[in-house]
Structure 1
């Protein structure tokens, strides 16, 4: 039997109160990923677009939760977020990457949000023009 060099989660726990997804890998690596970070960096076409430069800045996600976490085969999970977003498949490799890079990703997100005049607050009036700019979601997703 061939073994994989890719780390595999041995434990995944959804912490609703603290809004963290705890992921422990077979390598011993342990990460606590904020739901908001996962939502704004969702590996979906709605967030990433279909190529470089097509990303959509996510605003007003400061209170997002995960209402369900569905397994996808033996390689990923699909979170169902409280704002209805459910099209991102988080592979084990992607979860590991998020965990290893979460500080830099978070800082980058906050800088982009500030530059766009957006807010993490879901009820902030400054988010409305940003949400209207993005139009509708990709029809194929």
Structure 2
């Protein structure tokens, strides 16, 4: 599994830039990271229990805290900070960003919800 060589948080654009030692480079929007948080609050406690996150268009990250040598904890400005993002989880979010984002948009549509334009 590739390991990150660089993490850059771009506060204004609300994007976490992650570079891996295999040459991979991902720009992960804070909203995307928040709606796919690995926390039990978002993912539930078992298969099929994921909770649809609403109103996260303007969410930002206040702090990034290392968790050992294998992960980070993202402290979002909506006070969510219980997800532990392993290097592998971040890598998979990057690899599958297009598909996962579309799945999120489809879930919103099915729930009769719409994203507002971020400010």
Tell me which interval the TM-score lies in, with the shorter structure as reference length. Answer: over 0.9
Q: What is the CA-CA distance between 1:41 and the residue it aligns to? A: 0.3
C-alpha displacement of 1:121: 3.6
Unaligned 5+ segments in structure 1 are 1-5, 123-141
Alignment partner of 2:63: what SS?
strand
Query: What is aligned with 1:96?
Result: 91
Q: TM-score, normalised by structure 1?
A: 0.80
Name the residue aligned to 1:41: 36
Q: TM-score, normalised by structure 2?
A: 0.95
1:118 aligned to which of 98, 113, 116: 113
Gaps of 5+ in 2: none
Q: Which has the larger radius of gyration?
A: 1
Instruction: Tell me the CA shift for residue 54 of structure 1.
Output: 1.2
Question: Which among 6, 10, 13 is matched to residue 15 of structure 1?
Answer: 10
The answer to which structure has the higher strand fraction is: 2
Equivalent position of 1:3 in the other structure: none
Partner secondary structure for residue 92 of structure 2: helix
CA RMSD, Structure 1 to Structure 2 (Å): 1.2
